[in-house]
Amino acid sequence: MQTILVTGGLGFIGSNFIRLLIDDFSDYQVINLDAVTYAGNPENLKDLENDSRYTFAHGDIGDRKLIDELLEKERPDFIVNFAAESHVDRSITGPAAFIETNIVGTFTELEAFRAYCAAGNKCRFLQVSTDEVYGSLGAEGYFTEETPYSPNSPYAASKASADHLVRAYHHTYKLDTLITNCSNNYGPYQFPEKLIPLMISNALEGRDLPVYGDGKNVRDWLYVEDHCRALELVLRAANSGETYNIGGHNEMENIELVRLLCRSLDRRLGPLPDGRSRQELITFVGDRQGHDQRYAIDAEKIKKDLDWEPQTDLAKGMEMTIDWYLDNQEWLNQVRDGSYRKYYQEMYNKR
């Protein structure tokens, strides 16, 4: 049995990663440290609460004492850091939290990891990062692992800073670290402020579907389970100090994606009560400040080194994702009206 400390495991990708480790592998013990911010939802892993291979710890990656205690108690073989403020729009209106968690928090976690290794423990640290650190592409070209960092939003800059720290800890202290830079993920349990779940939930309620600018910004979409499988593989098989780009070869303009979601919902549910297609809910709104035009990943290196390729094409992944949100409307409603937070705030504040 190998022990993995996951940080930020109650969010979208972290909770899918933990579920994969528990459901598809028998040899991982998982400790999940999460601060339960607005984006961390204990409902995401409620069914694992009584699983003997899963333990939840409530706390902040910026709390050095807590991390030291957790490392001492749990003796992990791996640390996987998902914990972050992750929404670009929030980073534009309030960047401070992004500096605090994404940079200072990751630094604190790295310092605890360094002390843990210095005490003779063998452990590897995987930093889960984003392709947004590379900046924006024009109509041509792809991000490779050699592309210079050129982050454009406070979110991307904070993730880039954390990546640099992780890289430096490998180079300077010879620690066993890894970095992955992934394209946009989609799938179950994504917080409905992000494009796909936002559009699905608004379309279900017959509300406007706000699309930034002319909707022509291009993103490279990856089904979250494919990302999680890549992370497990990198953790287990990559050489120390490596960086891998992870992407889905699924580029699409935002407006095309929203139209695809509308067509699929119309086909399943029929038109809106007033007879209109959901596409008529699309409303173009003022563009995001500094909006990156295009992201696209060259994932050749991870294919060549580790034989990883995405298994889910966009059409199939989108159908599975829409199915999930339709089947889990209570989850969606609780997240949207905030009631899940009230319950857990009360629960945690009592501790």
Ligand X SMILES: NC(=O)c1ccc[n+]([C@@H]2O[C@H](COP(=O)([O-])OP(=O)(O)OC[C@H]3O[C@@H](n4cnc5c(N)ncnc54)[C@H](O)[C@@H]3O)[C@@H](O)[C@H]2O)c1
Query: Segment 98-127, which members bind ligand X (CB under 6 A)?
Result: 101, 105
Among 83, 200, 314, 332, contact with ligand X (rule: CB under 6 A): 83
C-beta separation of 232 from 28 below 8 A: no
Q: How far is the CB of 1 from ligand X (least distance, A)?
A: 24
Q: How far is the CB of 287 from ligand X (least distance, A)?
A: 20
With binding defined as CB under 6 A, does residue 265 bind ligand X?
no
Q: Six-digit token pair at 286?
A: 């003022």
Active site residue 298: no
Q: How far is the CB of 52 from ligand X (least distance, A)?
A: 22
Pick between residue 35 and residue 137 the one whose CB is nearest to ligand X. 35
Residue linked to tokens 């013990």: 29
- Quick one: 46 exposed, middle or buried, by C-beta within 10 A (0-12, 13-18, 19+)? exposed
With binding defined as CB under 6 A, does residue 62 bind ligand X?
yes
With binding defined as CB under 6 A, does residue 31 bind ligand X?
no
Q: Which amino acid, one-letter code, is at 78?
A: F
Secondary structure class of 340 (helix, strand, coil): helix
Active site residue 155: yes
Helix (H) or strand (E) holding 172: helix 154-173
Q: Please identify, among the stretches 88-96, 182-190, 231-239, 291-299, the one whose residues bind ligand X according to the rule CB under 6 A.
A: 182-190
Q: Please identify, among the stretches 48-56, 78-86, 88-96, 207-215, the one whose residues bind ligand X according to the rule CB under 6 A.
A: 78-86
Binding residue count for ligand X, defined by CB under 6 A: 30
Backbone angles phi, psi at 123, to 5 degrees: -155, 145
Active site residue 208: no
Long-range CB contacts (within 8 A, 24+) of 286-289: 286/212, 286/213, 287/212, 287/213, 288/88, 288/89, 288/92, 288/212, 288/213, 289/92
The residues of the shown chain that bind ligand X, judged by CB under 6 A, are 7-8, 10-14, 34-37, 39-40, 60-62, 82-84, 86, 101, 105, 128-130, 159, 182, 184-185, 191
Active site residues: 131-132, 155
